[in-house]
Amino acid sequence: MSSRLIDSFQRRIDYLRVSVTDRCDLRCTYCMPKGFKGFEEPDHWLRHDEMTRLVGLFVAQGVSKVRLTGGEPLLRRGVADLARGLTALSGLQDLSVSSNGTQLARHARPLREAGVQRLNISLDSLDRDCFARITGRDCLADVLDGLKEARAAGFDPIKLNMVVQADVNLDEVRRMVAFAIEQGFVLRLIEPMPVGDTGRASKGVDLSCLGEDLAREHGLLPQVLGQGAGPARYWRTPDGGMSLGVITPMSRHFCASCNRVRLGVDGTLYLCLGQNDQVPLGQMLRAGASDAELTQAILAGIAAKPERHEFNERPQQIVRFMSQTGG
């Protein structure tokens, strides 16, 4: 399918991340403040049929990849039913879910049966105490059980996302690499972004050099992926059983190849994590906008997508938290 979603910098936008809830059962230090209560009112959440309608409009314009995110998406009732409806959209080639894994053990099989193809699971530590300090909950065992159930349900590959923070979990990176090699997971090391006060308070690490060091230590080979495949740079074991990636929005940004936009739980279209540009698609939909009117708003939004974030130059610019934008 040819895409009409080409921005003014000639980037093809073929990837949509959809937040099904801004609620989460964890309070990760880089994402959401411990006592945060400023969640979107449930009456403002898009219903599943409204989400499917908007996603369908994106797919009709050339989006081929959709990821369900949050907050924690598995807290939203009926998320497998939503996934089933989305997989029925003609032209959608890839449906995936990002999760913190706490609810995954009971949801893995229904998600797989609904047509979800891939999982990204947040896992910042394999140490129980450190995990609890980062997330605010002592539930590492639940996440590990969820990974086992996901593998039993047939998910492959399973990606682990580890946000690396200096003086917090940097010393656990090598343990996580060994775990990923042993289990055959894809491990992605991520630099925290200054989104909201919590993001700005997180001290990151330049992962460009660390990734290269880890690749040498473990004999990993550079993995060449197609254009638009995502922000990570990858290495893999010679047998292809495990891949290591680094996502470096701060030390080496990848804005020139950005292929994604985000849809908030209320239907707000966010065009860039590091800018405030947005389109109120949810408000338009509930005000009675036609599919043609919504499509024109989507096209206008994509045309206005910013060239790049300004996290390094203007770190105070984004006051919303990551959970409010959609993962």
Instruction: Give 15-325's CATH code, choosing from 3.40.50.300, 3.20.20.70, 3.30.70.380, 3.60.21.10.
Output: 3.20.20.70
Interatomic CA distance for residues 181 and 185, integer angstroms: 7
pLDDT category at 289 given cuts 50, 70, 90 is very high
Is 227's pLDDT higher than 50?
no
Distance CA 216, CA 30 (A): 29
Q: How far apart are CA 16 and CA 62, in angstroms?
A: 10
pLDDT value of position 311: 56
pLDDT of residue 104: 98
The band of 322, judged by pLDDT with boundaries at 50, 70 and 90, is low
Q: What is the mean pLDDT of residues 248-269?
A: 87
Q: What is the mean pLDDT of residues 143-147?
A: 98
Residue 252 confidence (pLDDT): 72
Taking residues 135-164, report their average pLDDT: 97
Cβ atoms within 10 A of the Cβ of 110, count?
A: 15
| Least confident stretch, 74-83, 117-126, 304-313 | 304-313
Instruction: Quote the distance between the C-alpha of residue 44 and its chain's center.
Output: 22
Render 78-146 in DSSP notation, one character per residue.
THHHHHHHHHTSTT--EEEEEE-STTHHHHHHHHHHHT--EEEEE---SSHHHHHHHHSS--HHHHHHH
H helices of 165-206, in order, are 173-183, 196-201
The pLDDT of residue 193 is: 75
- pTM for the whole structure: 0.91
3-state class of 38 per DSSP?
A: coil
Residues 177-186 pLDDT 10s:
999 999 999 9
Q: How far, CA to CA in Å, does 203 sit from each of 60, 130, 206, 323?
A: 41, 16, 10, 19
- Residue 214 pLDDT more than 70? yes
Average pLDDT over every residue of 40-65? 96
Span 36-63, average pLDDT? 94
Please check the confidence at residue 310 and state whether its pLDDT lies above 70.
Answer: no
Q: What's the confidence (pLDDT) of residue 257? A: 82
CA distance linking residue 201 with residue 322, whole number of Å:
13
Residue ranges per structural domain of the chain: 15-325
Q: Are 133 and 92 in contact (CB under 8 A)?
A: no
**Model confidence pLDDT, tens digit, residues 276-287:** 789 999 999 999
Residue 296 has pLDDT above 60, yes or no: yes
- For residue 283 the two structure tokens come to 């408000």
Beta partners for residue 13, in sequence order: none
By percentage, how much of the chain surpasses pLDDT 90?
A: 73
Picking from 325, 90, 313, the residue whose alpha carbon sits closest to that of residue 198 is 325
Reported confidence tier of residue 97, pLDDT bands at 50, 70, 90: very high
The Cα 16–Cα 63 span in angstroms is 7
CB contact set of 299 (below 8 Å; sequence gap of 6+): 4, 5, 61
The pLDDT of residue 228 is 44
The whole-number average pLDDT for the span 232-253 is 87
Q: Does the structure show a pLDDT above 70 at 195? A: no
Helix axis angle for 104-114 and 140-152, nearest 10°, is: 30
Instruction: Report the share of the chain in percent with pLDDT over 70.
Output: 87
Q: Mean pLDDT in the chain?
A: 89
